[in-house]
Structure 1
């Protein structure tokens, strides 16, 4: 979850886009999917809940959920199960990039 949260922070702060973040982890770390796509498959609401428990338990700001994640869940964007997260799953099962303007 910390890696996923950092990836969301990277997007939130405008350092890189969804595709770039996921591609770096796939090519650079040999992960089968990037952290943002993984978050979509886990469920953004589940990721948020886990991070909230971690933050409440450790009281460490590094585990505080990124505001972008909170806003997306509040907007009903929960990933694959809702049809939209960091990628669009509504038309086909293959992930397609959603606009990078989440903030």
Structure 2
């Protein structure tokens, strides 16, 4: 969100550095950004922890209808 790294760079770092099979942003696109926003919203509401508050970029993408793979665009663009 701060522009320090691209979505691809973050995902590659987590795959290579932490051994994840899929990067966190790739996974968010796969499961659906709308779903992720909903789950984070409920967790934030129930716990009050700032760590669960959906970030502005996620809110922006969801408000634009960019839900990830299911809509063809999220953190990445996909062929439908």
TM-score range, shorter chain: over 0.9
Structure 2 CA distance for aligned equivalents of residues 44 and 80 of structure 1? 9
Gaps of 5+ in 1: 1-11, 92-103
Pairwise CA RMSD of aligned residues? 0.9
Partner of 1:101: none
SS in 2 for 1:70: helix
Task: Quote the offset at 1:42 in angstroms.
Answer: 0.4
Partner of 1:52: 41
Partner of 2:7: 18
Task: Quote the offset at 1:37 in angstroms.
Answer: 0.5
Partner of 1:36: 25
Structure 2 CA distance for aligned equivalents of residues 23 and 46 of structure 1? 23
Task: Quote the offset at 1:73 in angstroms.
Answer: 0.2
Q: TM-score, normalised by structure 2?
A: 0.95
1:85 to 58, 63, 74: 74
Q: Which runs of 4+ in 1 moved over 4 A?
A: none
Q: How many residues align?
A: 80
Gaps of 5+ in 2: none
1:68 to 50, 57, 72: 57
